[in-house]
Structure 1
Amino acid sequence: MKLKAMLVDDELPILHNLKAVLPWEDMGVEVAALARNGKEALEHFRELKPDLVLCDIRMPVMDGMAFLTEARKDDAECDFLMLTGYQEFEYAREALQRGVRDYILKPIDYEQLEQSVRQVCGQIRTRKLDRMQEVERWGRMASMAYEKQLYHALLGFHTDSDCIWLPEHGVALDRLWYSLYLADIDQYAQLSLQWSDQERRSQNAEITETLQHLVAADGSSFAVMQLREGEWCIVEQRARSVNWRTRADHASERLQHLREGMKERMKLPISFVAYPEGVRITEMESAYKKLQRMLLQSAGNWKLSGARGKAADNELREDPSLWRAVDVIVSRMRKLDQSAMSQALIDLKHCVIKKQEQERYCAEKVLHYLLLHLLRELREMNMIAPQEEEKIWRKLQHSISVKNVMEMIIELVDDAMDKAYSKKTGEMLMLSAKDYIHRRLSGDLGVEELANYLGISVSYFSLLFKSHFGETFVEHVTRLRMEMAQSLLLTTDKTVTEIGSVSGYSERRYFTKVFQKFAGMTPSEYREYHQAER
C-alpha cells in the first residue's frame, strides 16, 4: 500500500536531506510535496491529502503549530512528525498533546528518524487496511440486505408497510423501477435426477457465478438471485422514462448477451425470458410468476414478456384462473392446510372443465405446464422423492388425456400431503413457520399465535423449532428483527423510532434496550460508529 508524505522546513538543505537521505521508495512512500512554510504547506495539504507530514516547528509566515492546527481542521487522520530544536521543547510537548505521533530533535539523527517513519507508516497501513475491511464488510452487509429485500419481494413476502431502501443512496426501493430476467436450465428436473448432490450443488453454484460475471461486466445495477434450484432471477434497476421500444430492444440485447455468454461458458442448455416493462417492487411477484409460466413454454429460447411484448398475446390467451389455482395449491401445501387443499383441487377441476369447453384453448397443454410447475415446487419443498418424480416423467413421455393429467396432479398432491403428515409434519411445519415469520416480522408475533396457526401445542412447537433452527423462537425472531434494524440504520436516514416500529417494536425504549443487548450499543451509537468508520 503506497503512502504519500509531505516534507516541510524553511531550511532548504534540511528539506533536501529529508528527501534524499531517507529510503522513501523502500518504505513504500511517495514524497508528494515539499514546502518552506506553513502557508505553502497548507495549500499542498488540502490538494494532495498526504498520509504523513514531517514538519519543522519554527518557520516564517506560518509556523508548524499554526499549520498543524489548520490542517487538523481539514483532516484528523493525517499523521505528523515534528522537527524541533532543544530550545523549542515546550512547543514539542504541546504538539504531542495535539496528536502529533512523535517529535525529532535537531540536529536530526536520520537513523532514528527512519525508524520513527517506518513505525508510523506501519500504523497508518494497519489503520487503512482495517478501515477498508470494515467498509467492505458493511458494504457486503448492505448489499445482502438489499438482495434479501428483493428476494422477499419476488416471493411475495413484501407488504406495503415494509420499509425498503437502496443501501448506497438511502432511496426507498418502492420508488424505483425494475426489469426482470429469468434463466432456467432446460429440463432441469430430469437432468438433475442423474446428478449426485455434490454435482447438483456444483452446477448451480457455477451458473450463479457465471451470471454474476456476465451482468457485472455491463456496469449496470443488477442483482442475481437463485430462488430455486435450476432457476435464477436477474433484477435490473432502470429508468422509467425509457419508452417501450427502447426497453424491448435493450432487453433483447441483454438476453442475447446472456444466452451467448452462458453458451460459451456452460454446456447445459439454458432458457431466458425477460420482463422489460418497468415494475415496482410491489409488482415483482406477479411479474416473476409470469416469467415462470413463459419458461415452461420456451425451453431453449429467449422471449420478451410484458404488456406489449411479443409473447404477451399468448399470455393473455391463457386463463389466469388455472395459474391462480396452482398458486393456491402450492400455498396450501406449504401451510399443510388439508381442508383448503381439497377446495383448491376442486377449483382446479372446475377451471379445467371450463377450459375444455372453450375450443380455442388447449386444456391438455396448459394442464401439462401446470403439472411441471407443481413438480418443481414439490421438489423445492422436498415433498417428492426422486424415484416418484422419475415415474411421473416416464408417464409424461406418452400421450395422456386431460383426465389422466388431472388424476396425476391430485395423486401427486395427496401423496405429498400424506407424506408430510406421516412425518408428523416436522420439516413442513417449520417451513410454514418460517414463511409465517417472514410475512409478519414487522408486526406482533407470538409463539402461541404461531403454534395455533400450525395447529400444534406450544410445547411441541417450541421443541420442534429449537431442534430445527438451533435457537428458540424468541431468539430467532429477535435476531431477524435486529438484523433488519442494523441494515436500516446503516442504509437509511429513518429515525430510531421509525426503524424500531418497522422492526416490530412499537416502543422506542424497549427497542433500544433489546438492540443494545444484541449489538452491545444503542441504535444511535451503532449508526454513528459505523458512519464514522466509513
Structure 2
Amino acid sequence: MFTALIAEDSKPILRNIKALLQSTDLPIRVAATASNGEEALEYIRQQPVDILLTDIRMPKMDGLALIEQAKRIYPQLKVVLISGYNDFEYTRKALNLQVFDYLLKPVERHQLLEVMERIIVQLNERQVSDTEMFQDILDAYFRTEMRLGPDFHDQAKIPLVLRKQPFTPGSDSWRQEFLQECLTKAYAPHACWVFPTHTPQQFLVLVNISIKEKYPSAFDCMDSTRRHLLAHGVHASIGGQLQPVEPGKLTEYYRKVSRLLNEQLSIASPLLLDAGDQISLGMPGNGDMEKLAGSFAEMIRQRQKERFALKLSEQLMKWQSGNIRIAELVRFISVMTDTFSTLLSEQDPWNKLKLAEKSKLLIENDSYADFCKGLLDWAEQCFEMLQAQNRKSGYELFQQIDGFVQMNMYSHVSITDLALKFHVSPSYISRIIKRYSQSTFVHYYMQLKIKEACRLMEAKPDMKIKEVSDALSFSDQHYFSKVFKEYAGCSPTEYKEHTFKA
C-alpha cells in the first residue's frame, strides 16, 4: 500500500480528489490532506509519503515552493500537479522540478486513474530495486529467501545497525527471528524489519519513520533499543540516525556506520553512535601498538615461547583496564597470525588459512576472560607447531645452510646473512648449527674455511699464503695464519712444507 498527501486550499476540490482516490482499487491510501503548502511540508517532514498531489496556488506556501522543498526531503517523491487553464507558466516551471504529471481542474476520475496507474507501475519497479539494494549488505541465503510485503513500502525507513558487544554472553540470541520478535515489541505500534548482514553478529534494522513520534532524538531511540535488548539478554552496540535514508544510498550508509563501529567499538563499554553527527576518523593509528605488536612478533621469530606467554598475560590485563578498542586488538592478533603463518607456511601452505580462521573466532568469545585464555592457548598451539616443524625440518635446514656456506666459501658469510637467506632469526641459525655440527657458528665456519685452505695449498703448491688468505676473504694474512694454526695445529707455511715433503 502506497501513501498519498493532497495539498489543496479549496475544500470542495480537495474532497473530490480524496473521494476519487478512495473509490479506486489502486493500492493507495490517503495519509493526510493539507490546505496550504506549509502544512503539507510539515507533514512530509514528519512522515514522508510516496505521492504528493498539490495545487499550484495556495496561501502561505505555493505549490512550486512545496515541491522544491519536499523533493529535498524525499527525492523519490512522486508529484502530481493540480493546475487551472491559466496556470501554464507555473506548470512549465513545475515540470523543471521533475513533477511526474499534472491534472487540470476540475479533476476527472479517468484522468486521475490513468496518472495514478502509471505512478503505481514506477513505484512497483522501485520496490524491485529496493530489494536489490540489499545485495551488498545482507547475508546471501537470507536475501534469496527474503520476501518483503507491501507494507514495507508504506513509509520511509529509519536505519539502525546492531552489533554484538564484544566479550558478552548471549551469542545464541543473535538470531534474526529472536531479534525481530524482540524489536517488534519494543517499537510497537511502529513496524520494523531486522536483516542479518554479511558480518557475523551484525544486523541492519529498518524502522518506519513514524518511530520519530516515540523518540525525540537518535540517542533516545538507540538507548531505549539497547535497554530493551539487554532485558532480553542481548548485549548490543548500536549505530544509527533518526532520519530516513534513500534506498539508493542505503549501502553507502551501512558501510559508513559499520566503519564507525569498527573504529570506535571497545572491549568494555557499549557504544551508541549517532551516525548523523559522526565522521570517519580512520582506524586508530596507535604507534605504541605498532611497536608492541612488533616486539611480540620478534619473540615469535626468536621462538621465545615462555617469554611470549608471560608478556602477553601481562598485556592482556593492561588492555582490560585501559578499555582497548577492538580495532587495535584485531590488528595485534593479525600481526601475530601473519608472523606465525609466515614461519609455518613453507612446510604447510594451508597453515596461514587455518591460523587466520582460528584467530578470527577469538574475538567472538562470550567473555574477555575466555578471549584471554583462547588467545594464550592459540599462541601455545602455534609455538608447538613451530617446534614440531623445527624437529622435522631442522636437519633439512642445516643441510641447506651447509650447502650455501660451501657454495660461498670464497666470500664472507655472516650469521645475519644466513638468517636473511633462510627467513629465520640469527639465534635460530645458531641453534641449528650447534645441534647438527656440535660447534658454534664461528667454529663451524672457520673449520670449513681452513679445510678449504688446506685443499688449495695441496692442489696449488705455488700459491702464496697471502693469495690463499685473500681468496678465502680473510681480512689479512696475519689473521689467517693465526686462525689456521688454531684449527690445523700448525702454521700455513709449516703445512705447505709438510705437504711438499710428503
Pick the TM interval, shorter chain. Answer: 0.3 to 0.5
Relative contact order, CA 8 A, sep 6+: which one is greater?
1
Provide TM-score, normalisation by structure 2: 0.36
Who wins on radius of gyration, i.e. which is larger?
2
